[in-house]
Amino acid sequence: MNYEPLKYVYKASGNPDAYTLLLLHGTGGDENDLIPLAEDFKLGFNILSLRGNVSENGMPRFFKRLGMGIFDEKDLDFRTDELVDFVTEIADKENFNPTKIVALGYSNGANIAGAVLLKYPQFLAGAVLYRPMLPFKQFGVFSNTSNTPVFLTSGQHDPTVNPDDTAKYVALLRTAGYNVEDHVLNASHGLVGEDILFSREWFAGNFKL
């Protein structure tokens, strides 16, 4: 396939057994946006932060969309493959364990992380999805056999995400075998303190170094 490399920042923890936190920004962000948040968690993880290859009016994204909340699913499918291929290559280059990757994505980044959960259900060791939407309207049967933990937060005042669709998304992931912790917060689309507090607690309960 004709994949493009992604711009990235990698910060090694110095621990050969560490997990790697894969950071995936929202629309208009870049590879630097989520690093302060990740470092504030003080997890002892490696950090791999990517910039999406798609530009929407000059704003980086991980895949194209046809309108607000309407994904170009053909491009999403391709870009998901591209991302997994790239991360696999970078794991070899930077010498981190490709079986110990935990994605953390916000909005557009959460959506491509979700696409990885559906298309490559054994690839991630865990995922944090802030304000996600169901990546594909129709998707075949998929199964996660590792009870992989997934953390998901949605905002009850978020104008971009239908709460019924979020509930269906959570049910879909659970049916596929993921261990999902989900929270509906008194928030809109932006992150609030509870997103950070609850995800910090989730990390502590699921990933011991």
Q: Catalogue the active-site residues.
A: 107, 158, 189
* Residue 78 φ then ψ, to 5°: -65, -45
Residue with tokens 């959460």: 110
Q: Which helix (H) or strand (E) holds 11?
A: strand 8-11
CA angle in degrees (0–180, nearest 5) for 78-84-89: 125
Per DSSP, the residues of 110-127 read HHHHHHHHHH-TTT-SEE
Residue with tokens 């169901």: 134
Which residues are 180's β-sheet partners? 150
Q: Which residues have CB under 8 Å from 186's CB, separation 6+? A: 155, 156, 157, 192
Give dist(CA 23, CA 38) in Å, integer: 8
Q: How many helices (H) and strands (E) does the chain have?
A: 5, 11
Residue with tokens 């990740």: 38
